[in-house]
Amino acid sequence: MKLAVFCSGRGSNLKALLMARDNGLLPGAEFQVVVTDNKGAGAMSIARDHGVMAVVVPRSAFHENRDGFERRLVEVLEPYGVELVVLAGFQRVLGATFLGAFPNRVVNIHPALLPAFPGHMVWKAEVDYGVRLAGATVHFVDGGVDSGPIIIQGAVPALSGDGPDELAQRILSVEHRILPQAVAWLAQGRVVLDGRKVSISGLRPSEEDVLQSIVWPPLEIGK
């Protein structure tokens, strides 16, 4: 499966994907191109270090013209025969022009347990709310804000002393595990979409997998 990865900044999720590929964990995933809307993005050098073409499409060049920006993104992907677009820290909401060109072929990683805390800069909102569990979600992109069908989620505890930066860092560690897993399933053609529901074909969780629930703070009674 031919992939494009879209990033706006640091690119640690891109790096997790490329390391998984380099370690032979993503058979069938061909990374064709990395696209960024920010020419200063760290993701650019990560792509080049791993031998993947990197292209900048500056959003600022299109002013208020989101349609023009999205048409340009489609154009950039055309020569690569892209079959799946992975938004890995891409800080733009994509609309009908782009999504229409890749129906059910765009996935995103979001640093919260959706549907709680959609949108930008969610870590402070989570800390201020006092959540006990935080986490990350990989989902299909459907034109809403972080509202598409969910492929995989990973939870981490929010500790009492956490500020937004500490929580973001802990969430990032689970992002780096679930995004490569989602891409592996997608590249293997095992992700089945039925309305809002996603299933992974051939998944055989053990009873232990199912019963292993995450509770935080840890139980002191009834363990």
What mask of x and - would describe binding to ligand GAR in positions 42 to 61, judged by CB under 6 A? --------------------
Q: Which of 110, 120, 139, 176 is catalytic?
A: 110
Segment near ligand GAR (CB under 6 A), from 5-13, 18-26, 197-205, 206-214?
A: 5-13
Secondary structure of residue 84 in the 3-state scheme: strand
**Residue type for position 205:** P
> Which positions ≥6 away from 212 have C-beta within 8 Å?
none
> Residue with structure tokens 């490569």?
180
CA distance 14 to 44: 10
Determine contact, residues 32/6, Cβ cutoff 8 Å: no
Stretches 3-11, 17-25, 152-160, 210-218: which one binds ligand GAR (CB under 6 A)? 3-11
Measure the CA dihedral 78/82/87/90, to 10°.
Answer: -20
**CA gap 94, 142 in Å, rounded:** 9
Residue 213 three-state SS: coil
Residue 172 is a binding residue for ligand GAR (CB under 6 A): yes
DSSP bridge pairs for 136: 154
What x/- string results for residues 7 through 36 when contact with ligand GAR is judged by CB under 6 A? Answer: x-xxxxx-----------------------
Regarding 5 and contact with ligand GAR (CB under 6 A), the answer is no
Binding window for ligand GAR (CB under 6 A); candidates: 23-31, 96-104, 108-116, 214-222: 108-116
Closer residue to ligand GAR in complex, CB, 68/119: 119
CA angle 118, 32, 174 (to 5 degrees): 35
Distance of closest approach, residue 221 Cβ to ligand GAR, in angstroms? 35
SS3 content of the chain, % helix, strand, coil (to 5): 35, 20, 40
110 is catalytic: yes
Q: What length does the chain have? A: 223
Q: Whole-number minimum distance, CB 180 to ligand GAR, in Å?
A: 12
* Residue 107 engages ligand GAR in binding (rule: CB under 6 A): no
Pattern of binders to ligand GAR over 119-158, x per CB under 6 A? -x--------------------------------------
Catalytic residues, by residue number, are 110
> Given the rule CB under 6 A, which residues bind ligand GAR?
7, 9-13, 88-89, 91, 109-111, 120, 172, 175
